[in-house]
Structure 1
Amino acid sequence: MSGQKHYVLAAGGTGGHMVPAASLAAELGRRGHHVSLISDDRGVRFPGLFDKVQTHVLPAGRLAGGPIGWAKAARAMIAGRAQAIELYRHQKPAAVIGFGGYPALPALLAAFKAGIPTAVHEQNAVLGRVNRLVAGRVDAIATSYANVARLKEKYRGKAHLVGNPVRDAVLALRSQPYPLLEEDGIFRVLVTGGSQGASVLSQVVPDGLSLLPIAFRRRLQVTHQARIEDIDAARAKYADLSIAAELATYLPDMPEQLAWAHLVIARAGASTLAELTCAGRPAILVPLPSATDDHQTANAKEMTDAGGARTIAQTAFTPVELAKQMQRLGLDPAALQNAAGRARSCGRPDAARDLADLVENLDAPLGDMPIGVSLPNRKPSFA
C-alpha cells in the first residue's frame, strides 16, 4: 500500500508486548508512516523502545479481584474506550493493532466502535486473554507460532503466521556465525529471566555450575541477570566458586550479550525465544510455571522439538539436573554448534516485515486483504 498513514499500536507494559510493538513501529516508520502508542505507565517508560513515538496512557483496569475488581475494571475500560474514541477523532488512524495486555483492550474496543480496521499480534503459543476476547471482531490475527492453542477453529481463516518481531540489533546477529568454541577455550553462558529476572535461576544456576568438573568450571564466563533481591547472594556464590561472573538487574545490551554467548539459560518468554531463534543460540529453558495457561511451556516446544533447546520444568530444575544438561552440551563443541543451527532454523527473521505488510493491507478492499493463510503449514504471502 502506498501513501503515508497513521497507525496506533496498543500494548500492555511488559517486554513481551512492548518489544514486538516497537519492532513494528520501527518498520512502519521506515516505510514513511506515523505511529503512536497506547499503553500503561510501565509501557510508556520502557527504556529505549518508544523514545521517538507519541505515547498515550489510557485507563484499562484488570479483570481480577472478584466482582468488586471486575466492576472497577469495567469502569476503567469504559473510560479508556471513551478517551481512545476521542483520540481517534483527531488522529484518524488507518488501523489499530493490539499486542495483548489489558491496556490494549480499550484501544481495540474504541476502534470497533469507530469502524477502524484492527488486528492483534499474539506472541505466545497460547492465545492470550485479551486477544481471545477480541478475536471474533478483529480483521486479522497475526501469530508467532504455527500451532496456537485456544485459537478457535472458526477464527483460523483470518490467522496469519508472521513470527514475533525482534529488535534490529538482534536481527543483525543472524548474519553472524556462532562464536567459535574450542575444547579448552572460554565457555560463555548468559543467564536471563526476562525483563523481571527469575529468582529460581539465581538459586539454582550457581549451585549447578559448582557440580561441573573443575576443568570445565574454570572455563566458564557467566553474565547473569538477577532480581535486585537475589543479586548479592548470587554474586557471593559465584565468587566462592571462583567462577568469572558479571551480574546485573537489567541488561541494556542484550543483543551484545547474545552475540558472545555459547549457551543461554533462560525462561521461555516469547521475546526471549524469538531472539534466541533469530540469533541461533542454544538454550536450557525453564518455563515460568505460573504463566497464564502455561504458555511458556508451549512456547518452548518448537525450539525443543527442533533440537535447539532443552526444556526443564521448574519442579525438576535442580543443580544436579542443570549440571547434567550443561555437560551434555558444553563438553561437545560440535553438538553445541549443531544445537545452535537447530535453534536458528526456528527463527522467523522476516516477522516485522510480514506483520507490517499485513497491517498495511488491513484497509484494503474486501477480497484484497491477504487472509485465509493456512496454519500451521504456510507462512503468509502478501500482495
Structure 2
Amino acid sequence: MTISRHYVLAAGGTGGHLIPAYALARELQQRGHHIALVTDERGAKIPGIFEGDQVHILPPGRIAGGPIGWLRGMKGIWAGRAMALNLFENFQPSAVIGFGGYPALPTLLAAQKARIPTIIHEQNAVLGRVNRFMAGRVDAIATAYKQVDRLNPKLKDRVHLVGNPVRDAILSLRGENYPPLLEDGVFRVLVTGGSQGARVLSEVVPDGLAMLPVNLRRRLQVVQQCREEDIEGVRAKYAEHGIPAELATYMNDIPEKLGWSHLFIGRAGASTIAELTVAGRPAILVPLPIATDDHQTANAREMVKAGGARSIRQEAFTPKELAKQIQKMALDPHALENAALAAHKCGYPNAVRDLADLVESFGAAPLTGIIRVAPAAKGQARGGEALAREAEGQEA
C-alpha cells in the first residue's frame, strides 16, 4: 500500500536544473505522491514541463554586483524564505529537494527553519554554488558522478550516487544496439551546442569534416543545430564542401536523431553527458569555457577516461584537430563501437528511480532503501543498484 506524501522541488530556471526536477516529479507522481515546484520567472516560462502542476515563483536572490547587489540579493533570499515557509505551512512536505540555482537556496533554508528533511541533487561533476553552500546542512547529497569536485570529503556519509535523470525517449535507446557502421555505409554525425547552439561549432565543424579523407567524407550525413544568425553561413559551407547536412535552430526530436547517429559532437553539459551515456553514443566534446568552475570539463572526465569520448578545449578546437580526432575514432568501425560500449558503461539508466527511492526514504518509517556510495573493498565505490541489492539481502 502506497502512502501518499507531499514533496517540494526547488530548481533554478534553466533546463539543467529543471529537467532532472521534472523527471523526479513525474516519478513521484506515478508513485502516488504530490509535488510542488519552486522556481523563478524563467523556470515558470519553460514550455512543456510542470504544466498543470503547483508552481511557486520566488524573487531573485542572486548575490552579486558589489555591496548594493549583495544587499538586494539578501533581501530576495529572505523574502523567498518567508514565501517558502508559508508554502510549507499549507503544503506540509515530507522533504524538500533542491536541484541548484538561486531559488533553491531560500527554499532549503526555509526547510531547515521548519525542520523538514532536505536533499540536494548535483547534476554536474563540480558542486554548484548553492549546493556547495548547503551541502554541510542537508540530510542527503545525490550526485551524478563518482567524483564531484568541491565536495567536502567529510560529507561522504551523506553522498548517494544516483546519476542524472533523462527523458523516457532517451531511456528507450538503452536497449538498442549501436547502429552498424559498414565500410561503405553512411556515417551519421549529430552536432548540437546546447539550447542556444554554439557559434564555435558552426565555425569549425563544417571545415573539419571537409578535411577528412575522401573515403570517409563522401559517406557523411550531418545533422547540426545552429544559431539563427549562423545557419545560412553554415549551410553555404556544407554546400561548398559537398557534404549533405540537415540544419535547424531547434530540434525537438533529439532522441530519434541520437538513436541513429554514429558520433556526437557538442558541449559537455550535464544533461548531454547523461543522455550520451544512457544511450551509449561516442562523442567529441568541446566544454563551454565560460561554464562556472569549468564544470563541463569535469563532466566530460569520466566518459573520456572510460574511452567513450574525446575532449577538446575550445581554444584547441580547430578544423585540423577535429578531423584528426574523428579519424582516430571512425577510420576503424570497431573503434567507434568500442567507444559506444565504453560510453554505455558510464550511464545511469535508473537515475530517476534511485533518486525517487532516496526521496521516499524521508518521511517514511523506518528509513529504508537509501542508495549510498560508500567505500568498498580496495577503496572502490559501490553503485546504487549493488547497494540496493545488498540492503534487500540484509532485510531478508
Instruction: Specify every segment of 5 or more residues in structure 2 that has no aligned partner in the other structure, as ranges.
Output: 392-396
Q: Distance in 1 between matches of 2:51 and 2:243?
A: 38
Larger CA deviation: 126-135 vs 323-332: 323-332
Given that residues 373 and 381 in structure 2 are in contact (C-alpha distance below 8 angstroms), is that contact kept between their aligned partners in structure 1?
no
Given that residues 60 and 106 in structure 1 are in contact (C-alpha distance below 8 angstroms), is that contact kept between their aligned partners in structure 2?
no
> Which residue pairs with 2:323 in the alignment?
323
> Which residue pairs with 1:361 in the alignment?
361
> Which residue pairs with 2:383 in the alignment?
379
> Which residue pairs with 1:104 in the alignment?
104
> Which residue pairs with 1:113 in the alignment?
113
**Structure 2 counterpart of 1:358, which letter?**
L
Q: Distance in 2 between matches of 1:331 and 1:41?
A: 48
**Structure 1 counterpart of 2:54, which letter?**
Q
- 1:102-141 Cα shifts (integer Å, max 9, x gaps): 1211211111111111100001111110001111111100
**Structure 2 counterpart of 1:282, which letter?**
P
> Which residue pairs with 1:138 in the alignment?
138
Larger CA deviation: 110-119 vs 208-217: 208-217
Given that residues 265 and 285 in structure 1 are in contact (C-alpha distance below 8 angstroms), is that contact kept between their aligned partners in structure 2?
yes
**What are the equivalent positions in structure 2 for 1:218-367 lying under 5 Å apart?**
218-364=218-364
Pairwise CA distance, 1:200:
1.0
Pairwise CA distance, 1:276:
0.1
- 1:208-250 Cα shifts (integer Å, max 9, x gaps): 1121123322211111112223222222212222211122222
Larger CA deviation: 177-186 vs 350-359: 177-186
Larger CA deviation: 218-227 vs 129-138: 218-227
Normalised by the size of structure 2, how large is the TM-score?
0.93
Pairwise CA distance, 1:77:
1.1
Q: Distance in 2 between matches of 1:119 and 1:238?
A: 48
Check 1:61–1:239 CA distance in 2 against 1; reply closer, same or farther (3 A cut).
farther
**Structure 2 counterpart of 1:118, which letter?**
T
Please state whether the residue corresponding to 1:189 is helix, strand or coil: strand
Check 1:92–1:244 CA distance in 2 against 1; reply closer, same or farther (3 A cut).
same
Given that residues 357 and 370 in structure 2 are in contact (C-alpha distance below 8 angstroms), is that contact kept between their aligned partners in structure 1?
no
Q: Distance in 1 between matches of 2:334 and 2:246?
A: 27
Please state whether the residue corresponding to 1:250 is helix, strand or coil: coil
Q: Distance in 2 between matches of 1:6 and 1:120?
A: 17
Please state whether the residue corresponding to 1:175 is helix, strand or coil: coil
Pairwise CA distance, 1:379:
2.0
Given that residues 273 and 300 in structure 1 are in contact (C-alpha distance below 8 angstroms), is that contact kept between their aligned partners in structure 2?
yes
**Structure 2 counterpart of 1:316, which letter?**
A
Please state whether the residue corresponding to 1:177 is helix, strand or coil: coil
> Which residue pairs with 1:186 in the alignment?
186
> Which residue pairs with 1:46 in the alignment?
46
Q: Distance in 1 between matches of 2:240 and 2:330?
A: 22
Given that residues 268 and 286 in structure 2 are in contact (C-alpha distance below 8 angstroms), is that contact kept between their aligned partners in structure 1?
yes
Q: Distance in 1 between matches of 2:210 and 2:103?
A: 43
Check 1:185–1:374 CA distance in 2 against 1; reply closer, same or farther (3 A cut).
same
Pairwise CA distance, 1:201:
0.9
Q: Distance in 2 between matches of 1:162 and 1:175?
A: 20
| Aligned length in residues | 383
Q: Distance in 2 between matches of 1:102 and 1:230?
A: 32
Q: Distance in 1 between matches of 2:233 and 2:264?
A: 21
Q: Give the superposed CA RMSD.
A: 1.7
Please state whether the residue corresponding to 1:7 is helix, strand or coil: strand
- 1:183-218 Cα shifts (integer Å, max 9, x gaps): 111111111111222111111111111211233222
Larger CA deviation: 206-215 vs 252-261: 206-215
Normalised by the size of structure 1, how large is the TM-score?
0.96
Q: Distance in 2 between matches of 1:373 and 1:210?
A: 46
Q: Distance in 2 between matches of 1:186 and 1:129?
A: 44
Larger CA deviation: 348-357 vs 206-215: 206-215
Larger CA deviation: 140-149 vs 67-76: 67-76
Given that residues 197 and 225 in structure 1 are in contact (C-alpha distance below 8 angstroms), is that contact kept between their aligned partners in structure 2?
yes
**Structure 2 counterpart of 1:69, which letter?**
G
> Which residue pairs with 1:153 in the alignment?
153
Check 1:360–1:305 CA distance in 2 against 1; reply closer, same or farther (3 A cut).
same
Instruction: Specify every segment of 5 or more residues in structure 1 that has no aligned partner in the other structure, as ranges.
Output: none
> Which residue pairs with 1:35 in the alignment?
35
Pairwise CA distance, 1:12:
1.1
Given that residues 127 and 149 in structure 1 are in contact (C-alpha distance below 8 angstroms), is that contact kept between their aligned partners in structure 2?
yes
Please state whether the residue corresponding to 2:172 is helix, strand or coil: helix
Given that residues 357 and 369 in structure 2 are in contact (C-alpha distance below 8 angstroms), is that contact kept between their aligned partners in structure 1?
no
Q: Distance in 2 between matches of 1:210 and 1:107?
A: 51
**Structure 1 counterpart of 2:357, which letter?**
D
Given that residues 125 and 148 in structure 2 are in contact (C-alpha distance below 8 angstroms), is that contact kept between their aligned partners in structure 1?
yes
Q: Distance in 1 between matches of 2:142 and 2:275?
A: 18
Given that residues 158 and 371 in structure 1 are in contact (C-alpha distance below 8 angstroms), is that contact kept between their aligned partners in structure 2?
no
